[in-house]
Amino acid sequence: ERFLQVLEGQTDILVPNENNSIPTASASVFYNPEMEMNRDINVAATSVFVQKLIERKGFERENIRYLDAFSASGIRGLRVSKETGISVVLNDIKPEAVELIRQNISRNDLDRTAAAICENANILLHREKFAIVDIDPFGTPSPFLDAAAASATFLLGVTATDTAPLCGAHLKSGVRKYSSVPLNNEFHSEMGLRVLLGSIARETAKYDKGIRPLLSHATRHYVRVYAEILHGAKNADKTVEHIGFLAWCPACGSRETKTGLSVFLDEKCPNCFKNRKIAGPVWLGPLRETEFCDAVVAELDRLPLNKKEAAKKLVVTCKNEADLAFFYDQHLFCEELKISAPPIDPFLEKLRAAGFIATRTHFSGTSFKTDAPADVIKKKLLE
């Protein structure tokens, strides 16, 4: 058999058969089963956003155009077309991929609403506008962000799998790609998400567009962002106000963020007087919109999905995560205090009872966000 059949959501596609298993990165056409939950969330998030466009702008469902700019087998865009009913353009630079996409379109009876194109995504994105633009390239999206920002009229979805450059593990590469200095410390995953959002905000601002992150999530393997596009120079200016810098003290862990174009002149930590490290520019605004997350969870519940429970848990955690930039790691404090880590929920409850904001985060099981200072955090851990 040349192909294997894969079923995700309500969409059934063919992918190349590589010795009876699913294709690896070097296959003629790429398919990664590990991204299924990301695609499940994408279907639900797109469905919610489309409903919003229909209600607020009076659009007809089939007239809303979605571009899956890096389609490979077509799985992302085909799922959107089949499971939300909007029109989708599926593009890939590889002719073999486009041939397979065409087969997968027919296989799903989507010939009326889905079309395949074989082009360099940057050329297509600069030529045509799409209501929703989804970019999911190999590794970094940075060479495509300018064109994606120019093309997207209502929603821009970006996946980045270059977590090492984004998070500061490959520092120079990250600086080259995102024009930002990241910090590779305990909250490096959130750093990556905020570096990417900052970069998207700057790219869209050039076109007098602002962004509102509706949902953003990070794992060890990738970062995914759904940014609503807001039109006009005023919105772009407001967006830019969310970009700023972080000063972090490696000695005591204290943090200070400043938005706008201000820089930190004082490099000393005001808490322990050691030298601080500066990161930025990064996005310091909200990572999600709570009503949007609620609607996505309801949609995930309604749809037949293989990764439903994991997807719901992730979006609920994103929704409940405090609107504060940069999480703490409970284990790091416990190591310093030489104690074993107590259960995280009762510990966060103690912080809340003392009048502070304190929530878990989606970044890891041991992470939390709070506005309590480090000495209070330590005191509550020791109580």
Q: Does 130 bind ligand SAM (CB under 6 A)?
A: no
With CB under 6 A as the contact rule, which of the stretches 88-96, 98-106, 312-320, 350-358 interacts with ligand SAM?
88-96
Q: CB-wise, 64 or 69, nearer to ligand SAM?
A: 69
What angle (nearest 5°) sits at the alpha carbon of residue 128, between those of residues 125 and 129? 90
Q: CB-wise, 12 or 256, nearer to ligand SAM?
A: 12
Non-local CB neighbours of 121 within 8 Å, separated by 6+ positions: 69, 70, 91, 93, 135, 137, 144, 147
Q: Does 66 bind ligand SAM (CB under 6 A)?
A: no
Q: CB-wise, 218 or 351, nearer to ligand SAM?
A: 218
Q: Does 75 bind ligand SAM (CB under 6 A)?
A: yes
Contacting residue, 31, 130, 326, 328, with ligand SAM by CB under 6 A: 31
Q: CB-wise, 148 or 236, nearer to ligand SAM?
A: 148
Q: CB-wise, 123 or 261, nearer to ligand SAM?
A: 123
Q: Does 72 bind ligand SAM (CB under 6 A)?
A: yes
Contacting residue, 28, 63, 120, 290, with ligand SAM by CB under 6 A: 120
- Dihedral of CA 91/92/93/95: which sign? negative
CA distances from residue 50 to 8, 41, 88, 347 in whole angstroms, order as listed = 20, 14, 13, 40
Q: CB-wise, 75 or 152, nearer to ligand SAM?
A: 75
Q: Which amino acid is at 325?
A: A
Provide the token pair at 15: 């992918």
Contacting residue, 36, 92, 186, 299, with ligand SAM by CB under 6 A: 92
Q: CB-wise, 258 or 307, nearer to ligand SAM?
A: 307
CB of 83 to ligand SAM, least distance (A): 14
Q: Does 76 bind ligand SAM (CB under 6 A)?
A: yes
CA distances from residue 201 to 140, 149, 189, 195 in whole angstroms, order as listed = 16, 9, 19, 10
Binding to ligand SAM, residues 94-113 (CB under 6 A): 94, 97
Non-local CB neighbours of 303 within 8 Å, separated by 6+ positions: 9, 40, 43, 44, 47, 83
Contact call for residues 277 and 246 (beta carbons, < 8 A) = no
Neighbours of 146 (CB within 10 A): 17
Write the binding mask 289 to 328 for ligand SAM: x where contact by CB under 6 A, - elsewhere.
----------------------------------------
Measured in whole angstroms, the distance separating CA 90 from the mean position of its chain's CA atoms is 21
Q: Which amino acid is at 231?
A: H
Q: How many residues bind ligand SAM (CB under 6 A)?
A: 20
Q: Which amino acid is at 86?
A: I
Minimal CA–CA distance to 32: which of 167, 139, 166? Answer: 139
Contacting residue, 13, 35, 105, 240, with ligand SAM by CB under 6 A: 35
With CB under 6 A as the contact rule, which of the stretches 91-99, 181-189, 265-273, 368-376 interacts with ligand SAM?
91-99
CB of 20 to ligand SAM, least distance (A): 20
Cα–Cα dist 261/154, whole Å: 27
Q: Does 93 bind ligand SAM (CB under 6 A)?
A: yes
Contacting residue, 40, 136, 190, 228, with ligand SAM by CB under 6 A: 136
Cα–Cα dist 95/117, whole Å: 9
CB of 184 to ligand SAM, least distance (A): 24
Q: CB-wise, 56 or 220, nearer to ligand SAM?
A: 220
CB of 7 to ligand SAM, least distance (A): 14
Contact call for residues 158 and 70 (beta carbons, < 8 A) = no
154, with CB counted inside 10 A (0-12, 13-18, 19+), is: buried
Q: Does 137 bind ligand SAM (CB under 6 A)?
A: yes
Q: CB-wise, 76 or 194, nearer to ligand SAM?
A: 76
Alpha helices in the chain (DSSP H): 36-57, 75-84, 95-107, 121-127, 145-151, 163-167, 171-178, 188-205, 233-240, 290-302, 308-320, 330-337, 344-353, 374-382
Q: Which residues bind ligand SAM (CB under 6 A)?
A: 30-32, 35, 70-73, 75-76, 91-94, 97, 120-121, 136-138
